[in-house]
Copies of this chain bind each other. A is one copy, B any other.
Amino acid sequence: MGSSKRLAEDFQSYQQRIEAVLKEVVGSNPLTFYDVLRYHMGWQDEQGRPCHREAGKFIRPLLCLLSCQAVGGDAMRIMPAAAALELIHNFSLIHDDIQDVSSQRHHRATVWKIWGESQAINAGDAMFALAFSALFKLRYNGIDEQKVVTAAQLLNKACLELCEGQYLDIAYQSRLDVTMKDYLDMIAKKTAALIAASTAIGACLATDDNKVVDSLYGFGKELGMAYQIQDDVLGIWGKEEEIGKPVKEDISRRKKTLPVVYTFENCEDSDRKKLEALYSQEVISNDDVAMVVEILDCSGARKHGEKLIGRYHRQALAKLGMSSLDLSRQTSLEEMASFLLERDY
């Protein structure tokens, strides 16, 4: 059996188990409020009727479980931590959608679009709390309380960075002087911090060796950088079916994504002037979006993005290599990284 087939099968059984733990935590609470959360998770439709959309990819939980396994731990015992990571991710999605005024996610109406902003704020807050409810269940799986607190601290630190990154992302929307350094700082917090927490938590629950935990944290961090840059590139040049939301929405919202920041820094003066004029508007209309894309197409931003993805991917593998784990143990994490970074453009 080839390793990628084996990997896919590991994934599937893990994904089912993660989903089961998530359902346990978000629960069968009869309070209508939980219908909002179950809708967001894709288990119910707007009217509260059971439905089935394709399950999430559970990237963060999978990275957590594979890291635990790589270090020699028992992935099944740390399922509550895996679920917690997915819930934190979803808390941030619910609030993101309000902040970005996004009406669609995974081809469905977003929570605020159906229940209004106030209840969507609430739903995100509850998802945040539920993440910790999940994490603390580790103690009932025989995980030492000292480890539980350490994992909770890692998760919480990532949440705080996530808020900081989100703050920058929003603040950048009305700025024209965002540098590549600003951009990298923002995505390190907004995206890479939680992915780094995923691999670090998986590792820390299975070993006391801080060097190993740090290496896996580093692996997750670099991988997270590559992942976000890829997301930014797909946001301009990807296929709408794949990303589940309108392509180029990033542009109409003046998001300072990789292609935009790169182009601002590297294009001809005449193009920069055009871009500045376009980005000085509150909202960028469809016609203007097309003009922006034309400029991005010519700036070499796409090629540069792909180069950066490759660089962060290599850096991730280098960090993993520093873990001193047996090479055989590193394989599934290496495969997972390739899997994540091989999306179609």
Contacts and interface: CB of A to CB of B under 8 A. Distances in A.
Interface of A: 31-33, 91, 95, 98-99, 117-119, 121-126, 128-130, 132-133, 136, 139, 144-146, 148-149, 152-153, 156-157, 159-160, 163-164, 166-168, 170-171
A136 B135 CA distance: 14
B129 A160 contact: yes
Which applies to chain A's interface (DSSP): helix, strand, loop or mixed? helix
A132 B152 contact: yes
B170 A156 contact: no
B99 A167 contact: no
B164 A126 contact: yes
A163 B26 CA distance: 13
A139 B150 CA distance: 10
Given A139-B149, A152-B136, A126 B160 contact: yes
Contacts of A119: 167, 170-171
B122 A136 contact: no
A122 B167 CA distance: 7
B156 A118 contact: no
Contacts of A124: 121, 125
A117 B170 CA distance: 11
Contacts of A98: 117-118, 121
